[in-house]
Amino acid sequence: MALLARGVSRIIASGQATKLVSTTSMKSLSCGRGLPFAVSRLACSSVGCAGGTAVPQPSHRWFSTPAAESARTASVIEKVRLDSSGVVEVEWSNGGVSSFPYVWLRDNCQCEDCHSAMTGFRCVMIKDIDPFIAPVTAEVVDGKSIQLEWPDGHRSEFEWQWLQDRSFTREAREQRREAKRRKLQLWGSEQLKKLQPVDFEALMTDEMALYEFFNIVDTVGLAFTNNVPCKVGQQQRLAERIAYLRPTHYGLHESSVYSKPNTSNLAFTGQRLHCHTDMPQYSLPAGVLLLHCVQEAEEGGENELIDGYNAAYQLKEKDPEAFHTLTTTPVSFAMHGKDYIRYDLEKTRPIISLNEKGEVARICYANQLRSALMDVPVERVQPFYRAMRAWDDILYHPDNCILMKLNAGEMVVFDNWRLVHGRRGFQGGRHVQTAYMDWDEVRSFLGVVRRERNLDN
């Protein structure tokens, strides 16, 4: 990832864009070479009965280790108490206090009867848990864990680190969310020219090279590899280093893209393909697209590549109304025909999908597959077309759209939920292999390597 330190144009982190100035000069690109950048508790009192008189009970009870004073310096947990609001409160040696709900602790008991250490699976069934359960006692064990006894005599013990890693405080929850967020790097045409290709053999033999390659795909949106054998099956080889390819109506593995007679897909002609994302007609479009050039066209066939996230944020900044329109208007994408199977697919969704924070999460756009059927009131039609035109202008702006040609033996792997791509018309025997993967498998691989090698996100 050190390669990504140079020439960063914008980085999205914590939902905000930070602008950086590129300090490297750009050169023309012929085959994909170069490098882009870079709680409050409820006040609750319980009431008990003694001799028919209601007696106020303390809101909590403290429990401590017998040797707490002598072991204070070595302890992580100072005290534990049962609070009447339904939580166990743990007082840490540093003075902090964390609250853990009774029912949550019973549900997550780590004993071998309740939790499988081998699989990580929970063995307790929800029907066996009383939502209003409360422990009978709580104690600190050696200053390093807490032990609870439940009404049925069952005991649960929780190590301090396990508890801290699952803290319910707002700060801890925000830190966990932030740690899982993708560190996106946005780019334009000039920055993309500096993305250097990775040797294919390194991806086949070096796990860290493979990890870094797909981590770039995840953060930047695409990565290139060269010296790929000019024969079919190379995308499957690459995919099987991680997991497997995703079947589609094109086939179980790869599909060959070249000019074919009587085809039901514009991609299998020599005509121009306008900028799009693949498979918007699917309920879940494939997340990763692999394009391998086996034979370049004699004339034409250049690819157009645009960072859809960058374009979407530009639209939001320049034309908020158009951005709102494209994030809220349902658009139907439809495709039918016969390839590996007969298919009749249609899905309705906005062109730009946002996550719960209002950040751009997915681009689904293919003008050639956009249905004439529109499920909107008539007065929303013209504003929709105006928004699409504004979107199209940004996509094809020279600062955003890069024109490049894959040579034989080169492959580009990119984020199909992000990268908008097109293809110029061509003549001659152009042969490109296409294949797909799902993000779940790719990001699972990245997570496994991070965990096994103790890498930062």
φ and ψ at 417, to 5 degrees?
-85, -5
Are the C-beta atoms of 421 and 290 separated by less than 8 Å?
A: no
User: For 102-128, what is each residue's pLDDT tens digit?
Assistant: 999 999 999 999 999 999 999 999 999
Are the C-beta atoms of 394 and 318 separated by less than 8 Å?
A: yes
**pLDDT the model gives residue 31:** 30
**Which amino acid, residue 412?**
V
Q: Which domains does the chain have, with CATH numbers?
A: 77-176 (3.30.2020.30), 189-453 (3.60.130.10)
Q: β-strands 222-226, 410-415: how paired?
A: antiparallel
Taken in order 195, 199, 203, 206, is the CA torsion positive or negative? negative
3-class DSSP string for the chain: CHHHHCCCCEEEECCEEEECCCCCCCCCCCCCCECCCCCCCCCCCCEEEECCEEEECCCEEEECCCCCCCCHHHCCEEEEEEECCCEEEEEECCCCEEEEEHHHHHHCCCCCCCECCCCCCECCCHHHCCCCCCCCEEEEECCCEEEEECCCCCEEEEEHHHHHHCCCCHHHHHHHHHHHCCCEEECCHHHHCECCCEEHHHHHHCHHHHHHHHHHHHHCCEEEEECCCCCCCHHHHHHCCCCCCCCECCECCCEEECCCCCCCCHHHCCCCEEEECCCCCCCCCCCEEEEEEEECCCEECCEEEEEHHHHHHHHHHHCHHHHHHHHHCCEEEEEEEECCCEEEEEEEECCEEECCCCCEEEECCEHHHECCCCCCCHHHHHHHHHHHHHHHHHHCCCCCCEEECCCCCEEEEEECCCEEEEECCEECCCEEEEEEECHHHHHHHHHHHHHHHCCCC
What span, in angstroms and rounded, lies between the C-alpha atoms of 295 and 407? Answer: 7
> 325: which residues sit within 8 A by CB, 6+ positions away?
383, 384, 386, 387
User: For 76-107, what is each residue's pLDDT tens digit?
Assistant: 999 999 999 999 999 999 999 999 999 999 99
Angle between helices 320-328 and 308-318 (to 10 degrees): 130
- Residue 226 in this model has a pLDDT that exceeds 70: yes
**pLDDT the model gives residue 257:** 67
Q: Which two tokens stand for residue 68?
A: 């707490």
| pLDDT band with cut points at 50, 70 and 90 for residue 266 | low
30 vs 339 pLDDT, higher one? 339
What span, in angstroms and rounded, lies between the C-alpha atoms of 332 and 436? Answer: 22
* Range of weakest confidence among 31-45, 201-215, 251-265: 31-45
Q: β-strands 87-92, 77-83: how paired?
A: antiparallel
User: For 415-437, what is each residue's pLDDT tens digit?
Assistant: 999 999 998 876 667 789 999 99
**pLDDT the model gives residue 268:** 54
What span, in angstroms and rounded, lies between the C-alpha atoms of 410 and 406? Answer: 6
φ and ψ at 182, to 5 degrees?
-70, 135
CB count, 10 Å around CB of 54? Answer: 9
362 vs 40 pLDDT, higher one? 362
**pLDDT the model gives residue 8:** 29
User: For 119-155, what is each residue's pLDDT tens digit?
Assistant: 999 999 999 999 999 999 999 999 999 999 999 999 9
Distance of CA 309 to the CA centre of its chain: 14
C-alpha distance from residue 145 to each of 102, 104, 159, 382 (Å): 16, 17, 4, 64
Q: β-strands 16-19, 10-13: how paired?
A: antiparallel
Residue given tokens 């870094």 in the structure block: 212
- Residue 14 in this model has a pLDDT that exceeds 50: no
Are the C-beta atoms of 276 and 416 separated by less than 8 Å?
A: no
**Which amino acid, residue 448?**
V
User: For 159-179, what is each residue's pLDDT tens digit?
Assistant: 999 999 999 999 999 999 988
Partner residues linked to 56 by β-bridges: 47
Are the C-beta atoms of 408 and 292 separated by less than 8 Å?
A: no
- Residue 385 in this model has a pLDDT that exceeds 80: yes
| pLDDT band with cut points at 50, 70 and 90 for residue 36 | very low
